[in-house]
Structure 1
Amino acid sequence: MMPPDLNLPDDVEALKAMVLAVAEKAARVDALESEVADLKARNAEADERIERLTQILKAFDRARFGRRSEKLGSPSTDDEQQAFVFEEIETGIAAVRAQVNKGCERPNGKRPPRPRKGFAPHLERVEVVIEPEELPEHAGNARDDRTFGGSGPPMVAYRFEDSRAGECVARHLSRYRGILQVDGYAAYNKLVRSDGGNDGVTLAGCRSHGRRKFHELYASESSKVATETVERMAKLWQVEETVRGQSPDARVAARQQTSAAIVTDLFALRQKSVPRVSGKSKLAEALRYPISRRAIFERFLSDGRIELDSNTVERAIRPQAIRRKNSLFAGSDGGGRTWATIATLLQTSKLNNVDPFDWLTPRLERIADGWPSSEIDALMPWNHAG
């Protein structure tokens, strides 16, 4: 039955228009309800991430100021481990922002920036790239050999990529041959696969990354297994302090004598603990990470050139990460590559204990005056005499 007070028009066209209006209104309501549900889901996920970051900060405070703030291993080891806190916080904040702004056409209520206009098509383009000759003796200079007694001067090279996608990693390291000591990012594994991968790459793991989640649980005093793991791992860094700067053979000998037994015991502890904890717990996640990467984590026992961790690289990357927002003036891929070149020059000079300004100013003047590229090695910071 129809409600007695419902007035429907007698005109067919008017009735059609009324029905269409009602349908459109219902569709708008459905769309709004769907959008509200989506926003609630994104906010709930963002709240969960924020809670996770808050717990990390609390654990960090406990590690610094609590009764367990004593140093483990070398004086710098604990500081390096705590530095990973900021790395995870930065990643987490970026994820929260991306999740909250997902699907928004105008984040923060601002109009999207207009694309920049290029130069007129009729203008002549002239590109001049000045690079030194790639001499054989410069091959493989991707280095800091001081930890295993090497005599080569330290240097660092930065390369700009617009993301951490797997194809960027493959492109960057396509011709690399040697040891690649990295975190557990899956893209690195593809470089050592036989199906088109790079057969000349030896993958080595970073135990600081492997210890990170155990350290969080240790700092919050929430797991005996995590506490035992962290305390045992501290002995590995103590061994490294005694062999730093020695030859690769001497380092391997010391590691086989002391570290090998510690590593074996750690693996046995993890294997025994995994079936006893919830698969979704933080401890299970911490345990699975090193277990699934056992081979690459144990390579340092047989190769003295491999470090226990990748903290040397992390320290070189951190200044660039800190300056990232200040570097937004780059504005394009070309600007990003230029910034990477500048960072390479500055950080390499610092690695060689040379003041960047004192070294770079006269070198650029000499290059501008026509310094031959075949003698570019004489301008490097390790040959700087003041």
Structure 2
Amino acid sequence: MCGCWAHVRRKFNEALVGPAAKQPDSKEAIGLAYCNKLFDVEKKAEHMTPEERHELRQKEAKPIIEEFYKWIEACWADTLPQSLLGKALTYAQNQKKYLTAYLADGRIEISNNRAERSIKPFVIGRKNWLFCNTPGGAKSSAAVYSIIQTAIENGLNPQAYLEYAFRQIQLQDTLCIEKLLPWAEEIPVSCKMPNKKA
């Protein structure tokens, strides 16, 4: 299980209230700067292999995180626990085990922003699905939605992809389902969104 550094960064950003907190040497600004440094490391790793990303994180991100947690320990003495800064520090401290988990594997992302963006349409649209008549209907809707979102994540136009998949299902007596999955090499270029990598 992994934590999300974007949530930590957001909490320090929310603590930047008032002129004193907005000074570059304030604890709120320093906490935010640590988080930003970690995201800067991730920008460097954007096009790296998981192995290269893991190596970069060990070299650059791990020392930043170690320094960040030493800094948190030093902050407790004169920080009110219920202040916005106190809440940001407490969150980071309580989530340490999960926040540092991404260092162990280059395939793990530093934040869950991408996952949250992918479910945002579902969260917004759930009022429309409130009235599924049966649990089976709700389960079917969820399955279709999952297929559509997976197609989008793989750079496919969902409508073109579904039309292609349904056509293939109708045309073939024996079907190899692996060849119809959104990440399959057999998916034609006509199903792909422009300027997207599958």
- When normalised by structure 1's length, the TM-score is 0.44
Residue 261 (structure 1) aligns with: 63
Residue 182 (structure 2) aligns with: 381
Pair 337,219 (structure 1): closer, same or farther in 2 beyond 3 Å:
farther
Q: How many residues align?
A: 183
Contact 1:206–1:308 (CA under 8 A) maintained in structure 2: yes
Residue 196 (structure 2) aligns with: none
Contact 2:9–2:36 (CA under 8 A) maintained in structure 1: no
Deviation, 1:234, is 0.7
Q: Which has the higher contact order (CA 8 A, sep 6+)?
A: 2
Residue 12 (structure 2) aligns with: 214
Residue 195 (structure 2) aligns with: none
Deviation, 1:364, is 1.9
In 1, the alpha carbon distance for the partners of 2:41 and 2:28 equals 21
Residue 150 (structure 2) aligns with: 348
Secondary structure of 1:204 counterpart: coil
Quick check: 1:232 aligned with 2:34?
yes
In 1, the alpha carbon distance for the partners of 2:93 and 2:174 equals 52
1:211-252 CA-to-partner distances (Å, cap 9, x unmatched) read 221111126556321111112211111111111231223112
Residue 272 (structure 1) aligns with: 74
Contact 1:218–1:230 (CA under 8 A) maintained in structure 2: no
Amino acid at match of 1:208: A
One of 305, 326, 330 as aligned partner of 2:132: 330
Quick check: 1:290 aligned with 2:88?
no
Contact 1:221–1:227 (CA under 8 A) maintained in structure 2: no
In 2, the alpha carbon distance for the partners of 1:214 and 1:323 equals 30
Stretches of structure 2 that go unaligned for 5 or more consecutive residues are 191-198
Contact 1:354–1:384 (CA under 8 A) maintained in structure 2: no
Deviation, 1:275, is 2.9
Stretches of structure 1 that go unaligned for 5 or more consecutive residues are 1-202
Secondary structure of 2:16 counterpart: helix
Residue 119 (structure 2) aligns with: 317
Contact 2:81–2:90 (CA under 8 A) maintained in structure 1: no
Deviation, 1:368, is 4.3
Secondary structure of 1:327 counterpart: coil
In 2, the alpha carbon distance for the partners of 1:364 and 1:330 equals 24
Secondary structure of 1:325 counterpart: coil
Structure of larger gyration radius: 1
Secondary structure of 1:205 counterpart: coil
Residue 339 (structure 1) aligns with: 141
1:19-43 CA-to-partner distances (Å, cap 9, x unmatched) read xxxxxxxxxxxxxxxxxxxxxxxxx
Secondary structure of 2:165 counterpart: helix
Pair 359,248 (structure 1): closer, same or farther in 2 beyond 3 Å:
closer
Amino acid at match of 1:362: Y
Superposition map of 1:352-363 within 5 A: 352-363=154-165
| RMSD between superposed Cα atoms in Å | 2.1
Superposition map of 1:112-131 within 5 A: none
Deviation, 1:370, is 5.9
- When normalised by structure 2's length, the TM-score is 0.81
Amino acid at match of 1:384: I
Deviation, 1:369, is 5.3
In 2, the alpha carbon distance for the partners of 1:222 and 1:339 equals 50
1:180-229 CA-to-partner distances (Å, cap 9, x unmatched) read xxxxxxxxxxxxxxxxxxxxxxx221111222211111265563211111
In 2, the alpha carbon distance for the partners of 1:234 and 1:333 equals 44
Contact 2:14–2:84 (CA under 8 A) maintained in structure 1: no
In 1, the alpha carbon distance for the partners of 2:137 and 2:19 equals 47
1:160-193 CA-to-partner distances (Å, cap 9, x unmatched) read xxxxxxxxxxxxxxxxxxxxxxxxxxxxxxxxxx
Identity %: 28
